[in-house]
Structure 1
């Protein structure tokens, strides 16, 4: 049996070949991340008469650069394993000599495959690959929007600190309309109270009502009249608030497009994730995109570890740490989605809320209890995707742990 290790790079990859005893076979091959490079890899494979029956291939999941190589090898029929760089790092640290080159890494990856004999990585479906890209882009936009909102709040704290006491949601439709056109106290004082009330009533689509809209307009004018905000350089503050708001509105428009595309793709997958309390259509898309094929995991504990929801244990000699934290070594996107779902399930799911309450009664902190719920939720997700059946809460099963 032969073992190929491929060190993945942005523009070039390095290939190393070893036999079943770990001995190097020939020299390494450096090939470009291109069509011509793939032809060089094929020549290397043919040169040593390597076939899917006598060869196993391993490569690190370095960024997104491994996908094209993985796709190429999958078409050739080779058993290929994509693994976390932490696995090769662990073996690298085992050696006394601290060497790290593309050549040494290629052989190291081949040794990992020879020693560990990991399972083949299933080829990700096109729909799931699209979901992964879309949900990660969505998280990027969500985080950008949150950052912009924090900047606006910081600006308002300086020029109009009383504003946030008027609206429960600064970035709701009514407040956003006000800030887009009249973000400064002096801007609001230029608007007649009746006109301001009419604006609020129109933007809220009658939710305020004429009476309440008028009261809100009076409150706004009163706050503007007695503001303790700074009064120098306000034109620049106004421009920043308006430009940042426009960026937020554009991001929100794009988010709607992304989420619609995600849900359309997700609906083509037969899954029952949304039968779980706390998992929305969008959250289900994230879970599907990050997990890919559930066949990658033999046990639910492996999925827990992949999400980074397993506990990191610190032990040395007779010392055992009484505090355990999440390892956070898996997919941050999957962990974020499951954690958000677990937060909702902790208070609304018939079974998982009981588990949360028992842990709280035993003195566990809120975050610790939610983390425990997240792990149980991951077990449930594993079972649903494996069995392709809807979720049925079973309160009695939460007695353990």
Structure 2
């Protein structure tokens, strides 16, 4: 059995020892202790692509930050973006004393190499997303790019390993934490278990669907909740609703067709 799966896949999002014990006992009784998930070759390949790209982006950001450190050490307070065309032009003309000039040149060269590698992987990610039925379905959602679609597919794996939408929400960490004390029950912030990258992409896709693509279904849900609570709570809840829609789409092999939307 996979200890992580016991925590992530189980329905229980209530943070009490009593509930946890009951949940585990139920799983043992029903013989439903989850086995370690073994992804298919397609899922493993997708994971390698999106995680590889993310690592390259992190490396590039690291060198950009090193450049900011060099500039700060030499009293250059101008805001410079090493990844932008204007920023690179400014840095190319900058004259620093040795050996920092050589360091700056090396960092810029490494950023250029990493950028080319990132672009190469992004082209492959786009091609892969266009060839899989799961990602093709996800890309019918307004605001969901090929990169978001492939990342969701890669990190979730085969959708049939989840019995219901609630399990996917818990797996990604968008489920609210429930705390009980006596007869009182409190719903707190989300658990943030699972992939933070997936949560971030879902929030960004939800923001795009609501504010840019004007998705009627998600916009109506977001606006209603934002009036009652606040925009941050509303967009996280919208991301959760978007994930639930994704689950049903993949489970039923259907394109995005939200309920109650005029056509």
TM-score class, shorter: 0.7 to 0.9
The structure richer in helix per residue is 2
The structure richer in strand per residue is 1
User: Is 2:98 aligned against 1:235?
Assistant: yes
Q: Which residue of 2 aligns with 1:299?
A: 164
Larger RCO, structures 1/2 (Cα 8 Å, 6+ apart): 2
Q: Secondary structure at the match of 1:278?
A: coil
Q: Which residue of 1 aligns with 2:88?
A: 176
Q: 1:113 to 1:359 in 2, by over 3 A?
A: closer
Q: Secondary structure at the match of 1:335?
A: helix
User: Is 2:177 aligned against 1:339?
Assistant: no
User: Is 2:219 aligned against 1:353?
Assistant: yes
Q: 1:277 to 1:321 in 2, by over 3 A?
A: same
Larger Rg: 1
Tell me if the contact between 1:159 and 1:237 (Cα under 8 Å) persists in the aligned partners: no
Q: 1:236 to 1:360 in 2, by over 3 A?
A: farther
Q: Secondary structure at the match of 2:131?
A: coil
Tell me if the contact between 2:8 and 2:171 (Cα under 8 Å) persists in the aligned partners: no
Q: Secondary structure at the match of 2:132?
A: coil
Unmatched 5+ residue regions in structure 1? 1-57, 62-82, 95-110, 188-233
Aligned partner (choices 135, 139, 143) of residue 58 of structure 2 = 143
Q: Which residue of 2 aligns with 1:314?
A: 179
Tell me if the contact between 2:169 and 2:240 (Cα under 8 Å) persists in the aligned partners: yes
Q: 1:237 to 1:277 in 2, by over 3 A?
A: farther
TM-score normalized by structure 2? 0.78
Quote how far apart the aligned CAs of 1:87 are.
Answer: 8.6
How many residues were matched structurally? 245
- 1:240-259 alignment runs, 5 A limit: 240-259=103-122
Q: Which residue of 2 aligns with 1:260?
A: 123
Q: Which residue of 2 aligns with 1:15?
A: none
- Counterpart-to-counterpart distance in 2, 1:334 and 1:236: 41
- 1:2-401 alignment runs, 5 A limit: 58-60=1-3, 83-84=5-6, 114-115=28-29, 117-118=31-32, 124-159=39-74, 161-164=76-79, 169-179=81-91, 181-184=92-95, 234-271=97-134, 272-318=137-183, 320-321=185-186, 324-348=188-212, 349-364=215-230, 366-394=231-259
Q: 1:159 to 1:319 in 2, by over 3 A?
A: farther
Quote how far apart the aligned CAs of 1:146 are.
Answer: 2.5
Tell me if the contact between 2:126 and 2:147 (Cα under 8 Å) persists in the aligned partners: yes
Quote how far apart the aligned CAs of 1:170 are.
Answer: 4.7
Considering only aligned residues, what root-mean-square deviation do their CA atoms show, in Å?
A: 3.2
Unmatched 5+ residue regions in structure 2? 18-24
